[in-house]
Amino acid sequence: MIVCSCNAISDTDIHAAIDWMRAADPRTIITPGKVYHALGKRPDCGGCMPLFLSTMRKNDNLEVPAELRGLRETLRKRKSHT
């Protein structure tokens, strides 16, 4: 299904870009801008953004893995206990 008609970006393209970015860097924050960039495109009218975001949110790889979330806080607590 085409999500962004200005750039002919499909939901499959978005999921592939997210999966690729997550595999390349488990800690990266994935944004719509990064998805466009990974696909070699730039947003134009922005009319697709609500559907673009909802498509992104359906991908299980969108969020940083739980074991990496709060890492800075965990490290700070460990330092304060030593």
Contact 30, 21 (CB under 8 A): yes
Binding mask 37-66 for ligand FES (x = CB under 6 A): ------xxxxxx------------------
Is 4 a binding residue for ligand FES by CB under 6 A? The answer is: yes
Question: 19 CB contacts (<8 Å, ≥6 apart)?
Answer: 59, 61
Q: Give the integer Cα–Cα distance in Å for 11 and 53.
A: 11
Closest CB to ligand FES among residues 6, 71: 6
Contact residues toward ligand FES (CB under 6 A) are 4-7, 43-48
